[in-house]
Chains A and B, each alone.
Chain A
Amino acid sequence: MNEQPIWSIFVNAALVNNFVLAYFLGICPFLGVSQKVATAARMGGAVMFVMLVSSVCAFGIHHVLLAIGTPFLELIAFITVIASTVQLVEMIIRKFSPALFRALGIFLPLITTNCAILGLALFQTNREYDFVQCLAYALGAGVGFTLALVLMAGIREKLTLAPVPDVVEGTASALLVAGILSLTFMGFAGLGAQ
């Protein structure tokens, strides 16, 4: 039982406990696909979509496993079902909406192994959210991920024009920027407090 209000869940997932900047989930795409704002925004959209789908799946799996008394299979069920659902969704999108597939498609396989997706499933189960709370959590996490990714891409676009010492180039500079972003996001702390 968790009685946290919906707005608080959303604000927390999106800003206070941003998946990337506070929980370090989904760092790989965060560092890998954050060179251009346009690409970053599309990647964010795809992640948000997958998060909603897998949140619903995880909610279902958790309750089925509880019902049949095998909670120890949770992790293995989460990862296989989420991975297959994402592939299924990918096939469906490719068949029915080639335009959408071109926009999201190339990112979908990348997202399957994104720890943010699995993290979302695990956290919502730990916190015993009900169905609506799960959706709010997934949406908040997706918005937060997109926000972090787009901000990061914006900064890195500027950074390519700046004279950076060559020992700091690449991953190191991206991590420094991420650290500063993470500090900035700490300003949001307390927004969701009761």
Chain B
Amino acid sequence: MTNPETPSSTNEFMKGLWRENPVFVQVLGMCPVLAVSNTAMNALAMGLATAFVLLMSNLLVSLLRDFIPRQVRIASYILIIATFVTLTDYAIEAISLDLHKALGAFISLIVANCLILGRAEAFASKNGVGNAALDALGMGAGFTLALFCLGAVRELLGAGSLFGFAVLPGGFEPWIVMILPSGGFFTLAFWLIAIRIFERRRERRQTAEALQ
């Protein structure tokens, strides 16, 4: 067990990836998670875009933490986040029109992702630039990983392909429901259940070891 009193830099990074994973553990930012995870590619792009916005706004919030008075902090954070979201929106459109069309308004909706405002308020506004960046990288990576897990499963079962390449044999009848909205709810629910079963097993093993 790592001691929470002395946060090491790897700890700042790793906590977002697994122990405090924003999607699987904290259940934050559900709207993009469910909406654009119908293919692995969309999910990965959305995850990276969110991670970028998270990193940049965490950096800026941490830099400006002495400049922003408490009373107007939320408004300032929202302004900063909205700026980086707009930048990301234009960047994605410049890189690939098709991707921009597939993600649609959900790029703009990164603004309303409670994960980003949550990290700015709970972590970046109280920590130095280095730690804030590590925290953002960890959370961003965790978010991207979770989105990718969902997107890969949905595309594999729903279309029999991965990143657009057919991977399942031709005889496979795609489960169309997985690409539809309800498939998003089901896939996330199954991931949550799988993770909980895994955690239960580990806890049981640990207590068994402790008893011996």
Contacts and interface: CB of A to CB of B under 8 A. Distances in A.
B86 A183 contact: no
Given A27-B34, A167-B200, A183-B177, A172 B185 contact: no
B205 to A, nearest CB: 16
Interface string A118-152: 11001100100000000000000000000000000
Interface string A91-121: 0000000000000000000000111011100
A126 B196 CA distance: 40
B114 A113 contact: yes
A26 to B, nearest CB: 8
A26 B192 CA distance: 20
B185 A175 contact: yes
Given A113-B114, A172-B192, A182-B185, A75 B34 contact: no
A25 interface: yes
Contact of A182 (B75, B78, B86, B181): B181
A186 interface: yes
Interface in B32-89: 32-35, 75, 78-79, 82-83, 85-86, 89
B154 to A, nearest CB: 12
Interface stretch (B4-12, B104-112, B133-141, B156-164): B104-112
B184 A24 contact: yes
A76 B86 contact: yes
Interface in A150-181: 167-168, 171-173, 175-176, 178-180
B112 A113 contact: yes
Contacts of A180: 182
Interface residue tally on A, bucketed by range: 35 or more
A37 interface: no
Contacts of A57: none
B109 A186 contact: no
A76 B75 contact: no
A22 interface: yes
Contacts of B34: 24, 27
B197 interface: yes
Chain A at the B interface: mostly helix, strand, loop or mixed? helix
A21 B183 CA distance: 11
A72 B86 contact: yes
B109 A27 contact: no
A142 to B, nearest CB: 17
B99 interface: no
A157 to B, nearest CB: 19
B182 A119 contact: no
Interface of A: 21-28, 31, 72, 75-76, 79-80, 83, 113-115, 117-119, 122-123, 126, 167-168, 171-173, 175-176, 178-180, 182-183, 186
Given A80-B75, A183-B177, A183-B182, 7 more contacts: A24-B33, A27-B34, A75-B111, A168-B193, A171-B192, A175-B186, A176-B189
- The 5 A-B residue pairs with the shortest CB-CB distance, nearest first, are A179-B185, A115-B112, A175-B189, A182-B182, A27-B30
23 contacts: A22-B181, A24-B34, A24-B35, A27-B30, A28-B114, A31-B30, A75-B82, A75-B108, A76-B86, A80-B79, A113-B112, A115-B113, A119-B112, A167-B200, A171-B27, A175-B185, A175-B186, A175-B189, A176-B189, A182-B181, A182-B182, A183-B177, A183-B180
